[in-house]
Amino acid sequence: MSNIERIIYEAMEKIKNSDDEMLENIRSEYFGKNGILTKILKSLSHYSIEDRKRIGFETNKAKTNLESEIEKRRKGLKKTLIVQKMQREKLDCSSIFYFPFPKGSFHPIVQTIQDMILTFKSLGFLVAEGPEIETDWYNFEALNIPKNHPAKDIQDTFYLDSMKNLLLRTHTSPGQIRVMEKQKPPIKVVVPGRVYRNESSDASHSSTFHQIEGLRVDKNVTFLDLKIILTKFIHSFFCYELNVRFRPSYFQFTEPSAEVDVQCLFCMGRGCKVCKNSGWIEMLGCGMLHPNVLGSVNYDSELYTGYAFGMGVERITMLKYKIDDIRLFYENDLRFLKQF
């Protein structure tokens, strides 16, 4: 090992274990006024030209190497400091007392909608959605509800403009029109959603509630298909033992129309306060699509027939869980909600 090589070797060893202050001392020890390498450079005149060149070159090279080694060590030290600081300040969660946060759950109305959708899916229905802000056309006109019909009265509908064109949908039936407008038969969908009626609330009424609409259009769809599907739905959603009956009714958009009653779930048909001693509870409205409705979406009513049905989600949830006041769904009282 040459003299310079040994000097470098020793310096490198020192640098490895130095802190910032020691690095500064090493710098002056080697490159300072009386530094080891400075002295060598100063003494070059004592050597032959040959040696001068060689020693000068090696010394300068050693200088550059040592400088960069010192710089590397400086950076390393800085990094170590940061890591040490991070370790010191690291949050130790191991000693925090375990607090069992209660798990949330879906609102009973959402749960019912999800359950109903599952049941309808098993019967071959797809799911569609429509907007809550509707136009007069979708909510009324296309559904064969004429201009001067009492249902359009300001009492029932929340209008959003003075022209009475924009409104909050009063039922999910405009969803039927939007689906038929977009696609050709065969159609088999359910449309869940929130609806609005301009009326005051009591134990069985609310100005905001939810419905689920059903629609099927194809060649040769009959009232029997409607009866079969709704009976299957009620049986699989509630209980297979329940009696179901279809009662003639009237809706502008269906003809013939019917209302479906189920055997009272509270007294199993014996008669009680809830079913007003009739043994039956009204569950939903339905019927065969009126030719005018098919016409409003340019379907050929000679070729296609269809059925539609609509039911209130709150009402069904109330029956299922034996709840006697609709307002409980909107008060967000945790003692009520926690039961679901």
175 binds ligand PHE (CB under 6 A): no
Instruction: Write down the least CB distance from residue 308 to ligand PHE, Å.
Output: 4
Asked if 142 interacts with ligand PHE (CB under 6 A), we say no
Q: Which is nearer to ligand PHE, 26 or 142 (CB)?
A: 142
Minimum separation from the CB atom of position 245 to ligand PHE (A): 16
31 CB contacts (<8 Å, ≥6 apart)?
37, 38, 63, 66, 67
Q: Which whole-number Å values give the CA distances from 89 to 75, 76, 82, 84, 125, in the listed order?
A: 21, 20, 11, 9, 57
List the structure tokens of 106: 């879906």
Piece of the chain touching ligand PHE by CB under 6 A; list 27-35, 68-76, 101-109, 304-312: 304-312
Site membership for ligand PHE, residue 139 (CB under 6 A): no
- With CB under 6 A as the contact rule, the residue among 119, 254, 305, 317 that binds ligand PHE is 254
> Could you tell me the CA-to-CA distances from 59 to 54, 55, 69, 126 in Å, in that order?
9, 6, 15, 84
Helix (H, G, I), strand (E, B) or coil at 64: helix
Q: How far is the CB of 164 from ligand PHE (least distance, A)?
A: 19
Q: Any idea what the Cα angle at residue 285 is, between residues 206 and 261, rounded to 5°?
A: 95
Per CB under 6 A, does 306 bind ligand PHE?
no
Peptide bond into 174 cis (omega under 30): no
Give strand ranges (E) for the chain: 126-127, 133-135, 166-168, 187-196, 208-218, 244-251, 254-263, 280-289, 305-312
Among 128, 310, 316, 329, binds ligand PHE (CB under 6 A): 310
With a CB cutoff of 8 Å and minimum separation 6, the contacts of 340 are 105, 106, 107, 108, 111, 321
Q: Does 210 bind ligand PHE (CB under 6 A)?
A: no
- Binding of ligand PHE by 309 (CB under 6 A): yes
Q: Does 40 bind ligand PHE (CB under 6 A)?
A: no
Q: Which of 217, 242, 199 shows the shortest CA–CA distance to 307?
A: 217
- Of 18-26, 123-131, 279-287, 296-304, which segment contacts ligand PHE by CB under 6 A? 279-287
> Rule CB under 6 A: is residue 192 a binding residue for ligand PHE?
no
Tell me whether residue 63 or residue 169 sits nearer to ligand PHE (CB atom).
169
Residue of the chain from 15, 177, 288, 308 that contacts ligand PHE (CB under 6 A)? 308
List contacts with ligand PHE (CB under 6 A).
171, 173, 213, 251, 254, 285-287, 308-310
